[in-house]
A and B are shown apart, each in its own frame.
Chain A
């Protein structure tokens, strides 16, 4: 009797896999399996460069790393001094601008957090994470 319940459960679990897999395929471009930021919220260095003068570069790294080197014209906005730095960023932003946020590398989480907060708290759209971060930018520009 126990194996009967188990067998029934396994059959149901397998049935449910089919539409779930179909849905996963349908949404493959809208949801990222790597991070909570959707693929539509990430840009590569080339894509960011293609946005031209409409881009505001935002550096989400700690103060010392920004001071050491950063994307030319980038604005510092990190969570250590969010309340102090946010108004300076907002003073530069205007509708139509695209914001590209980077931190040190692919594995760094700071840029995702900054993008999340700009989208949720300031309710800005067109805010993106730079895929690969500062490392990726350096590779393309040095």
Chain B
């Protein structure tokens, strides 16, 4: 009777003493990718400060745009390593927050959320990027506002319409701001045009859409 109790107590004491502990250098990384970067990569470094090995049970990201890799499945005591989180920027803009949830077999603190924050610089902010007229509407001019991102300098922009059905004129509207006045030739037929907006001295191209839409159906 005494032996099982003794064995249990000893094992509890050993468990407490041998508590594994994965220490993270930082659990939030902030990145500022360059304008042409396709990816933002964060290296989350850790160290096993405990006395038993730690195994990674799962490492998964909050979205399909982010992948996370561990260097090893098992981390021996005293060993260091890192989890690399790769965020594929795609056509995202502005502030982005992506998380990676790491699960281990530690007795306490099994789940850790690693956060990758990225500020994606945007050379031009185009609002709205879609202007439309209903069939039969008056072919009035509609304005697209273009604002230059604060980390960029753009003196001129060039706008071309993919079809002659729409005319686009550019005007400066203050420091770092432009106005694009878009006017259809007429609104008799359903047509669409891609407006290509290119900053001077830049290879990057931006787009807006102009369209004559069907008149809404009466419900």
Is the pair A94, B88 in contact by a Cβ cutoff of 8 Å?
no
> Which residues from chain B contact A135 at a C-beta distance below 8 Å?
none
> Which residues from chain B contact A64 at a C-beta distance below 8 Å?
64
Is the pair A83, B91 in contact by a Cβ cutoff of 8 Å?
yes
Question: A94-B214, A122-B128 known; A65 and B64 CB under 8 Å?
Answer: yes
Q: Is A69 an interface residue (CB 8 A)?
A: no
Is the pair A62, B64 in contact by a Cβ cutoff of 8 Å?
yes
Residues 82-101 of chain B, each 1 if its beta carbon lies under 8 Å from chain A, else 0: 00000010111000000000
Is the pair A95, B134 in contact by a Cβ cutoff of 8 Å?
yes
Q: Is A31 an interface residue (CB 8 A)?
A: no
> Which residues from chain B contact A93 at a C-beta distance below 8 Å?
213
> Which residues from chain B contact A80 at a C-beta distance below 8 Å?
65, 88, 90-91
Instruction: List A residues at the B interface (Cβ < 8 Å).
Output: 54, 61-62, 64-65, 78-84, 86-87, 90-91, 93-96, 107-110, 113, 120-124
Q: Pick the contact of B90 from A61, A79, A121, A122 — CB < 8 Å?
A: A79
Considering the chains assembled together, what is the distance between the CA atoms of A121 and B92 in angstroms?
13
Considering the chains assembled together, what is the distance between the CA atoms of A142 and B97 in angstroms?
33
Q: Is B160 an interface residue (CB 8 A)?
A: no
Is the pair A82, B213 in contact by a Cβ cutoff of 8 Å?
no
Question: A62-B65, A79-B91, A80-B91 known; A87 and B128 CB under 8 Å?
Answer: no
Q: Pick the contact of A121 from B88, B126, B219 — CB < 8 Å?
A: B126
Is the pair B91, A122 in contact by a Cβ cutoff of 8 Å?
no
Question: A79-B65, A109-B62 known; A96 and B216 CB under 8 Å?
Answer: yes
Interface size class of B (residues with CB under 8 A): 20 to 34
Question: A79-B90, A94-B216, A96-B216 known; A86 and B128 CB under 8 Å?
Answer: no
Question: A87-B194, A87-B207, A110-B63 known; A120 and B127 CB under 8 Å?
Answer: yes
Q: Pick the contact of A123 from B128, B207, B216, B219 — CB < 8 Å?
A: B128
Q: Is B157 an interface residue (CB 8 A)?
A: no
Residues 179-219 of chain B, each 1 if its beta carbon lies under 8 Å from chain A, else 0: 00000000000001010000000000001010101111101
> Which residues from chain A contact B126 at a C-beta distance below 8 Å?
121
A103 → chain B closest CB, angstroms:
8
B158 → chain A closest CB, angstroms:
18
Is the pair B63, A108 in contact by a Cβ cutoff of 8 Å?
yes
B125 → chain A closest CB, angstroms:
9
Considering the chains assembled together, what is the distance between the CA atoms of A91 and B211 in angstroms?
8
Residues 127-157 of chain B, each 1 if its beta carbon lies under 8 Å from chain A, else 0: 1111010100000000000000000000000
Considering the chains assembled together, what is the distance between the CA atoms of A86 and B217 in angstroms?
23
The 8 closest A-B pairs by CB, nearest first: A96-B216, A82-B91, A80-B90, A62-B64, A123-B128, A122-B130, A94-B213, A95-B216
